[in-house]
Structure 1
Amino acid sequence: MALHVSERSNALPARFSAGNPLLSRLAPMMLITGGAMRRYGLEAGESAPLSGSLGRLGSLEVRLARGPREIWRAQRLRYRVFYQEMSAKPDVVARMFRRDADRFDKACDHLLVIDHAAKGRFGGIKPKVVGTYRLMRQSAANRLGGFYTQSEFDLAPLLARHPGQRFLELGRSCVLQPYRNKRTVELLWSGIWAYLEHHRIDAMFGCASFDGTDPDALALPLSFLHHHARSQGEWSAEAHPEHLVGMDRLPAEMVDYKLALKQMPPLIKGYLRLGARFGSGAVIDRQFGTTDVLVVLPVSAIDRRYAQYYGGENSRYAA
Structure 2
Amino acid sequence: MHEDWNIGGWRVRLRPDSAELAPAYAFRAARFRSGAEDRDAFDAAALHLTVEGAAGLAAYARLFPQDGAEMARGYSAQAYDVTPLVARYRRAVEVGRVCLDDGAPDLPRLLLAVLARLVDRWEAELLWGCASFPGRVPPALGRLADRAAPWGPGRRAGVENADLPAAGAGAIPPMLRLYLAFGASVSGHAVVDRDLGTTHVLAMLPVREIPVARARLLRGMLAAA
Shorter-normalised TM-score: what interval? 0.7 to 0.9
Stretches of structure 1 lacking an aligned partner (at least 5 in a row):
1-48, 95-99, 119-127
Match of 2:47 among 105, 109, 123: 109
Contact 2:7–2:222 (CA<8 Å) still a contact in 1? yes
Quote the RMSD (CA, aligned, Å).
2.5
Equivalence map 1:42-61=2 (5 Å): 49=1, 51-53=3-5, 55-58=6-9, 60-61=10-11
Match of 1:131 among 59, 65, 72: 59
Match of 1:169 among 71, 89, 94: 94
Structure 1 or 2: more strand by fraction: 2
Corresponding residue for residue 152 of structure 2: 236
Deviations 1:8-31 (A, max 9, x none): xxxxxxxxxxxxxxxxxxxxxxxx
Corresponding residue for residue 124 of structure 1: none
SS of 2:106 mapped into structure 1: helix
Q: Hey, which bits of structure 1, 4+ residues long, moved more than 4 A?
A: none
TM-score by length of 1: 0.63
Cα distance change of structure 1 residues 108 and 168 upon mapping to structure 2, 3 Å threshold: same
Deviations 1:136-195 (A, max 9, x none): 1115973x9710001111102320233xx2011110000234xx4232222222211111
Equivalence map 1:72-221=2 (5 Å): 72-84=22-34, 90=36, 94=37, 100-115=38-53, 117-118=54-55, 128-139=56-67, 142=70, 146-162=73-89, 165-177=90-102, 180-213=103-136, 215=137, 218-219=138-139, 221=140
Corresponding residue for residue 24 of structure 1: none
Once residues 198 and 4 of structure 2 are traced to their aligned partners in structure 1, the CA distance between those partners, rounded to angstroms, is: 35
Contact 2:17–2:48 (CA<8 Å) still a contact in 1? no
Tell me which amino acid in the other structure corresponds to 2:76: T
Cα distance change of structure 1 residues 208 and 145 upon mapping to structure 2, 3 Å threshold: closer
Deviations 1:192-250 (A, max 9, x none): 1111111111111110011111x2xx33x323322x10111xx3213314432111x32
Cα distance change of structure 1 residues 141 and 130 upon mapping to structure 2, 3 Å threshold: farther
Deviations 1:69-110 (A, max 9, x none): 33322211101122228xxxx4xxx2xxxxx21111111111
Tell me which amino acid in the other structure corresponds to 1:200: E
Cα distance change of structure 1 residues 182 and 303 upon mapping to structure 2, 3 Å threshold: farther
**Quick check: 1:69 aligned with 2:69?**
no
Contact 1:138–1:168 (CA<8 Å) still a contact in 2? yes
Once residues 101 and 311 of structure 1 are traced to their aligned partners in structure 2, the CA distance between those partners, rounded to angstroms, is: 32
TM-score by length of 2: 0.88
SS of 2:33 mapped into structure 1: helix
Cα distance change of structure 1 residues 153 and 203 upon mapping to structure 2, 3 Å threshold: same
Structure 1 or 2: more helix by fraction: 1
Stretches of structure 2 lacking an aligned partner (at least 5 in a row):
none
Contact 1:107–1:141 (CA<8 Å) still a contact in 2? no
Name the larger-Rg structure.
1
Contact 1:62–1:187 (CA<8 Å) still a contact in 2? no
Contact 2:46–2:63 (CA<8 Å) still a contact in 1? yes
